[in-house]
Amino acid sequence: MAVLKWLDENIEKIIILVNYVAMAAIIFVEVIRRFLFNEQAAWSSTIPIYLFLWVCWIGCAYNVKIRAHLRFDEVRQRLPYPAQFGCLLLDSALWIIFSVIVLIYSVEQVMLSYDNFAIVQGTDDVMQWWFYTATPIAFSLLIYRVLENVWRDVSDFRKGEPLLIKTNIFGD
């Protein structure tokens, strides 16, 4: 259970870090190779772009988890307690609706890529769909994070405890 709790707390950070380090390493090595040895891997300009999909969408799920996504906290803090709760529920509903729409179309994109054997440009056997799975995976994770937040909000509201409205991406 401790492993699952640790994974729940850190999965987004791990995925972001691994992909960001891989992107940076590929770019760094290939820039050195280009300028010092006058050669460069053909895939070195495409793979980092695909890795960025993972960084971007998993980062979106992470920001929903820590409630650092774009919203109007200054207005919400001035609202009455029930209205604050209502706004949090509205946020959650909108995130879920948006995520379901993204899931439907991104799964279509993954399947299209898979069915057409789309290869990453500059490679012989790296499939595009491997990278495109970032979007449905991340938005599924995002829905899970939204539901976690709803659970916490409902619990806090029932107890009459302050709602978590304003957060900081760098911790409290």
Number of structural domains the chain divides into: 1
- Structural domain of 26: 2-159
Instruction: Using DSSP, state whether 50 is helix, strand or coil.
Output: helix
pLDDT at 169: 59
The pLDDT tens digits of the residues spanning 29-49 come to 999 999 999 999 999 999 999
Q: Are the C-beta atoms of 164 and 153 separated by less than 8 Å? A: yes
Q: How confident is the model at residue 167 (pLDDT cuts 50, 70, 90)?
A: low
- pLDDT above 90 covers what percent of the chain? 82
Q: What is the pLDDT of residue 78?
A: 86
The string of DSSP letters for 63-130 reads HHHTT-SS--HHHHHTS-HHHHHHHHHHHHHHHHHHHHHHHHHHHHHHHHHHHTTPBPTT-SS-BHHH
Whole-model pTM: value is 0.88
Residue 171 covered by a domain: no
Please report whether residue 6 resides in a domain.
Answer: yes
With respect to residue 168, please indicate whether it lies within any of the assigned structural domains.
Answer: no
- Looking at residues 119-138, what average pLDDT do you find? 95
Does 168 score more than 90 pLDDT? no
For 32, how many CA atoms within 13 A lie in the half-sphere containing its CB?
5
Q: Is residue 72 part of a domain?
A: yes
Q: What is the widest separation between alpha-carbon atoms in the chain?
A: 66
Examine residue 170 and state whether it is found in any structural domain, yes or no: no
Q: How many CB atoms lie within 10 A of CB 5?
A: 9
Residue 82 included in any domain:
yes
21 domain residue, yes or no: yes
pLDDT in tens, 67-106: 887 777 778 888 899 999 999 999 999 999 999 999 999 9
The answer to whether residue 122 is domain-embedded is yes
